[in-house]
Amino acid sequence: MTPHEVVELIRERGIKMIDVKFVDLPGVFHHLTVPTAVIDEDVLETGLPFDGSSIRGFRGIAESDMVLLPDLNTVVFDPFVEGPTLSMFADVKEPGLKDYARDPRGVAKRAESFLKNSGIADVSFWGPEIEFFMFDNVRFQSAAEASYYFIESGEAHWNFGRGDTPNSGYKVKYQQGYFRALPIDDQTNIRTAMSLQLEEMGFVIERHHHEVASAGQNEINFRFSTLVDAADKASMFKYVVKNVARAYGKTITFMPKPLWRNSGSGMHCNQSLSKDGRNLFYKEGGYANLSQEALWYIGGLLTHAPALLAITNPSTNSYKRLVPGYEAPVNLVFSKGNRSAAIRVPSNFASAKTTRVEFRTPDPTANPYLAFAAQLMAGLDGIRRQIDPTKAGFGPVDKDMYHLTAEEKAKISSAPTSLRAVVEALRADHEFLLEGGVFSKELIETWISLKEEEIATLDNRPHPVEFEMYFDI
């Protein structure tokens, strides 16, 4: 939309507020609300000022003046705030509307430009599958004298014997939640409400269902799109899901592993490249109908996986999910239709239209703009260097990798087991991200610094399970 069209829309629909949204470096949503009485075409073209020093990973106090430049092609109605209100994403700019190197959305835009300029492809398509938990109530505390969390979920397997409230006995048994029907899946109607709201805001919803874990693990799938648009949608998805759940008296977490001994939540990233309208990843008759370019792309993803995980799995909690079992994609190999591999090639409908690769390791604590851009850069590096994943020892492996012999397992690389390990991998391997100025050294250094702070926060505190293990020694 043009500034004139937005101003006309405000007038015609009686819009009272403009809500401008952006994410910080870790990926957390922020917003600024402005009355439409002070909005005109000039404001929409020159942007809105804000204090960048108050946003994590942005600027110091001595250089804090920054600008939010609305992207008028992202305008939607926001149903969660008093209004009527128009919502739109914004790009973070320096004064003078100069590009800001640490703006996550700017990184994603530069990745798309780099792809086009490379001549390899015109466009990349992204379909994130975002899982989440919906709980009835959550309490947690971390202080000098106490540290705990407590989760309440009416459908949880540990509540079969609960007697303080009416108990129908319809609970999700341990690890038996996948595709369960009503009345076991008592969150069906809330997911439908979420899906309908997402559709009203421009999403194409393809399906929703209960996931494997007990205690409210859910998934809602929306249709793939181009990189920046898919990252916008992933960010808006979290916003909508949390707010609809709040209206129902529920709470949402995108933590990868909020429950011990239950499956964790991933953000499987389906991706492909296209040139002149042709899917570059498809070649009939190849392994899983994959082209040579697709295999090289896979080679890049798996070669750089230890460093990539610092961006795609960026929390200390991420590595509670990345443990053997629970369909956790810890094996750095590719495979056709195999969910125990880090990269799965979906084989349900292998055609020129649907062929893609699914990187299963990422989780929803990732900043989608950085995560998608980093994966694209790794894949393109694989194509440029012609990294053959088979020769590099990355498969394909078409067996259940949780039942291999010790000799077979020894030949398979595994994902790093801690945030500290992947941060060190990123420190050593990030040149592929700097190509074309997509990521900057400054951004990488800031990211590593933020992650080291998180690691130290956990490392320096007693953990409740340590009392169980060591208190009576």
User: What are 160-189's pLDDT values in tens digits?
Assistant: 988 877 888 899 998 989 999 999 999 999
Told to judge if 145 belongs to the known catalytic residues of this protein, a careful annotator would answer: no
User: What are 189-233's pLDDT values in tens digits?
Assistant: 999 999 999 999 999 999 999 999 999 999 999 999 999 999 999
Told to judge if 8 belongs to the known catalytic residues of this protein, a careful annotator would answer: no
Distances (CA, A) of 113 to 118, 190, 203, 215, 228: 9, 39, 24, 42, 11
Q: What is the pLDDT of residue 124?
A: 98
Catalytic residue among 24, 103, 129, 155: 129
Q: Where are the domains of the chain?
A: 3-100, 123-470
Q: What is the pLDDT of residue 83?
A: 85
Catalytic residue among 103, 229, 358, 381: 358
Please check whether residue 217 is in contact with residue 210, taking contact to mean a CB–CB distance below 8 angstroms.
yes
Catalytic residue among 78, 112, 185, 219: 219
Q: What is the mean pLDDT of residues 256-265?
A: 95
Told to judge if 219 belongs to the known catalytic residues of this protein, a careful annotator would answer: yes
Catalytic residue among 78, 91, 103, 131: 131
Catalytic residue among 268, 304, 321, 430: 268
Nearest CA-CA partner of 167 in 179, 176, 159: 159
Q: What is the mean pLDDT of residues 334-356?
A: 86
Please check whether residue 222 is in contact with residue 211, taking contact to mean a CB–CB distance below 8 angstroms.
no
Catalytic residue among 5, 8, 40, 51: 51
User: What are 4-31's pLDDT values in tens digits?
Assistant: 999 999 999 999 999 999 999 999 999 9
Question: Rounded CA gap, 284 and 10, in Å?
Answer: 50
Told to judge if 211 belongs to the known catalytic residues of this protein, a careful annotator would answer: yes
338 has pLDDT over 90: no
Give the orientation angle of helix 292-303 with respect to helix 368-385, to 10 degrees. 120
Mean pLDDT of the chain: 94
User: What are 424-447's pLDDT values in tens digits?
Assistant: 999 999 999 999 999 999 999 999
User: What are 284-306's pLDDT values in tens digits?
Assistant: 988 999 999 999 999 999 999 99
More confident residue, 241 or 408: 241
Told to judge if 360 belongs to the known catalytic residues of this protein, a careful annotator would answer: yes
Task: Say which CATH class 123-470 falls into.
Answer: alpha beta
Catalytic residue among 30, 339, 384, 427: 339
337 has pLDDT over 90: no
325 has pLDDT over 80: no
Catalytic residue among 356, 360, 420, 430: 360
Told to judge if 339 belongs to the known catalytic residues of this protein, a careful annotator would answer: yes
Q: What is the mean pLDDT of residues 318-341?
A: 87
Percentage of the chain exceeding pLDDT 70: 99
403 has pLDDT over 70: yes
Q: What is the pTM of this model?
A: 0.96
More confident residue, 346 or 430: 430
348 has pLDDT over 70: no
Told to judge if 358 belongs to the known catalytic residues of this protein, a careful annotator would answer: yes
User: What are 31-90's pLDDT values in tens digits?
Assistant: 999 999 999 999 999 999 999 999 999 988 878 899 999 999 999 999 999 889 999 999
Single-letter residue type at 190: I
Q: Which two tokens stand for residue 5?
A: 């069209």
CATH number of 3-100: 3.10.20.70
